[in-house]
Amino acid sequence: MKNKTLTYLALSLLCCICACTSVDLCPEAEHPHITDMRVRLNWGDISKDEIPAEMHIVASRIINTWRTRGIINTSIDPATNNNITQQETSSDTRTASNTKENSEDNSIESPEETASSFYLRGGEYNIFIINEQYADVPAQTGDTEQSPTPIISIENLDNYIHDNKVSVKDLYLQISSMGNEKPDIVEGNDLPDFNPDDEYLQEIKSPIFYAVQKNINIQTGQPTILDFDMQRISQRINIVFNIRTEGNIKREDLAAPIIELSGACGRFNIADACLDTPRLYRMAHQVQPDEFTQTGENTYRCVVHFHTLGVIPSAAKGHLNGPGILQVALQVSANRLDASGAPVLDQDGKPVKNSRYIYGAINPYDELTAAQLIEVRDGKTYLRYSKDDVNIEITSPLVIKADQIVSDDTGMGWQPNDPTNPDDDIIIEI
């Protein structure tokens, strides 16, 4: 089966919530009782271009709870060099009976003192690895140092590391929402807002990867290399549709469409491997030149790629709002005509063109349902994992005639959509 669920993640990570006694009983006579740890990430047939530069590693000792995190540099070979840095550990808790022991144990809190980039204390651990993602930092101006903006982050990770009362069930993989802001491609073009109640998600540029090992016994006093088989847990969805023009509309009269897809999930519970669906979002994408190709006379093909944590289909086929709706904004140019119907020419004798945005929407209910992007069990919604791309091909073409979208007679295909301007009268002189 190409598709399979991630329900095993729930079992894999559930042990991380165990918070047994905080008394750290050390069976060894000498300190420091630690081990230098490295990891080997096995990517299988995953393309090198998709491998993140860094991965998060989180280790949780099951008995005598102790937690730590670090950053894996994926370009470093663990056989020759330490490949985990930036370690941060949980605060120690003590009782009167083990104050001296834990005091000695505290002497190993700094990796620099141990000449170790990432260390673990002895014991049994659950360890998981997952990647975050950040937006490109703009060029620095003046003396102000700009921090990268998170696109994907692990929610509650700091609390989980430093507070044993925080369970792994409180850890979420979160795609950043844009809040009240809109993507530049939408805001900059002054497009109408069809779903004002839905926030936009930051556009994910690459996949999300994950691996877990549980009940790993860490022995102290010797370097340890652990192997992790990485798997993609995000879905790469390819939205495919065709455009057909009628009348005197040429390729140069069409700008790259702006695509919007609603019903996107923004949070993924790491422990239960389920999606947080009470609040859904939308994604926007400006079609790139290689995604918008002419396939024949007056016919064009669009292939739009989204990395997602799942998309919820519409509740019914007839809806054109809510989740699971694909909307297109397409800029079309046409010759400006004078009163006699002849093209208006500029001083160089070239036709003066007007450009306008036209809008259409379609509910790909059948296509999204057939793709089985999600699965509902026991009242929870689960993401279905696929190592292959998920292709959502819309068979009904988007038809444009005289710079207007032609309504589909069945009511199930593309429909003109501009609730803010029934006349579709957004004119741009170019």
pLDDT of residue 91: 59
Q: 3-class SS at 322?
A: coil
pLDDT of residue 23: 41
Q: Which residue has the higher pLDDT, 11 or 268?
A: 268
Q: Which residue has the higher pLDDT, 200 or 146?
A: 200
pLDDT, mean of residues 38-53: 92
Indicate yes or no: pTM above 0.85.
no
Amino acid present at 87? Q
Q: Which residue has the higher pLDDT, 258 or 110?
A: 258
Half-sphere exposure in the Cβ direction for 86 (13 Å, CA): 9
305: tokens are 């790629």
Kindly tell me the sign of the dihedral angle through the C-alpha atoms of 370, 374, 376, 379. negative
145: tokens are 């140092």
Nearest to 390 by CA among 305, 327, 320: 305
Q: Which residue has the higher pLDDT, 37 or 405?
A: 37
Do strands 398-401 and 235-246 pair parallel, antiparallel, or not at all (unpaired)? parallel
Residue 193 in this model has a pLDDT that exceeds 50? yes
Nearest to 125 by CA among 227, 213, 211: 213
Residue 412 in this model has a pLDDT that exceeds 80? no
pLDDT, mean of residues 324-348: 85
Could you give the percent of the chain with pLDDT greater than 70?
79
pLDDT of residue 191: 74
pLDDT of residue 140: 57
Beta strands of 179-232 (E only): which ranges?
209-218, 224-229, 231-232
pLDDT, mean of residues 190-215: 85
Residue 13 in this model has a pLDDT that exceeds 50? no
CB 37 within 8 A of CB 118: yes
CATH placement of domain 3-97+105-135+149-176+208-232: 2.60.40
CA distance 276 to 265: 7
User: Per-residue pLDDT tens for 374-400?
Assistant: 889 998 998 887 778 889 999 889 998
CA 123 to each of CA 24, 59, 171, 217, 252: distance values in angstroms, whole numbers, following the listed order: 10, 11, 23, 6, 66
pLDDT, mean of residues 130-148: 71
- Residue 272 sits at φ, ψ, to 5 deg, of -90, -5
Indicate the domain borders of the chain.
3-97+105-135+149-176+208-232, 235-429
